[in-house]
Structure 1
Amino acid sequence: MTETPTIDKTAIRDAATVIVLRDRNHEPSVLMGQRGAKAAFMPNKFVFPGGAVDPEDAHVSLAEPLSTLCASRLIDNAPHDRATALAAAAIRELWEETGQILGHPGDWAKTPPENWRDFAAQGHLPNAAPLQFVFRAITPPGRPRRFDARFFLLDADDLASDPDDFSAASDELAHLQWIALDKVRGFDLPFITEVVLAEVAARAADRHPPASVPFFRNDDEESLFLRLYGQPLPD
Structure 2
Amino acid sequence: MSIDKTAIRNAATVIVLRNRLQDPSILMGQRGAKAAFMPNKFVFPGGAVDAEDAQIPLATPLPEVCTDRLRESAPEDLHHALAVAAIRELWEETGLILGRPGEWTDNVPADWTSFASTGHMPVAHGLQFVFRALTPPGRPRRFDARFFLVDADEIQGDLDDFTHASDELSHLQWVKLSEARKFDLPFITEVVLAEVAGRVTDPTPPQSVPYFHNNDEASLFLRLRGYPMPDHP
Structure 2 equivalent of residue 207 of structure 1? 203
Shift of 1:114: 1.1
* Letter of the 2:36 counterpart: A
For each residue in 1:85-106, what CA deviation from the matched residue of structure 2 results, as whole angstroms up to 9, or x when unmatched? 0000000000000000000111
Task: Tell me the SS of whatever aligns to 1:61.
Answer: coil
Which stretches of structure 1, 4 residues or longer, exceed 3 Å deviation after superposition? Answer: none
Aligned Cα root-mean-square deviation (Å): 1.1
1:203, CA displacement in angstroms? Answer: 1.4
Equivalent in the alignment of 1:63:
59
- What is the rounded CA distance, in whole Å, between the counterparts of 2:83 and 2:205 in structure 1? 16
Q: Which residue of 1 aligns with 2:43?
A: 47
Question: What one-letter code is carried by the residue in structure 2 that aligns with 1:50?
Answer: G
Quote the offset at 1:196 in angstroms: 0.1
Number of equivalent positions: 222
Name 2:168's counterpart in structure 1: 172
**Secondary structure of the structure 2 residue equivalent to 1:211:** coil
- Percent identity, aligned pairs only? 69
1:48 is displaced (CA, Å) by 0.1
Out of 144, 149, 152, the residue aligned to residue 153 of structure 1 is 149
Alpha-carbon distance, 1:222 to partner: 2.4
C-alpha displacement of 1:229 = 2.1
Please tell me the residue identity of whatever aligns with 1:42.
Answer: M
Larger Rg computed on CA atoms: 1
Map residues 76-155 of structure 1 onto 2, 5 A cutoff: 76-155=72-151
Structure 2 letter corresponding to 1:122: T
Distance 2:10 2:207 in 1: 23
Q: Decide which moves more: 188-197 or 159-168.
A: 159-168
Which of 159, 162, 168 aligns to 2:158? It is 162
1:27 aligned to which of 15, 23, 28: 23
Taking structure 1 as the reference length, the TM-score comes to 0.92
Paired amino acid for 1:87: A
Distance 1:139 1:164 in 2: 31
Distance in 2, matches of 1:10 and 1:97, equals 25
In the alignment, structure 2 segments of 5+ residues that lack a partner are: 227-233
2: distance between equivalents of 1:28 and 1:22? 5
Name the CA distance, whole Å, in 2 between partners of 1:117 and 1:220: 41
State the alpha-carbon separation in 2 of the partners of residues 91 and 215 from structure 1. 21
Alpha-carbon distance, 1:202 to partner: 1.3
Does 11-20 or 216-225 show the bigger shift? 216-225
Question: How much does 1:184 deviate?
Answer: 0.6
Please report the TM-score for the alignment, with normalisation by the length of structure 2.
Answer: 0.93
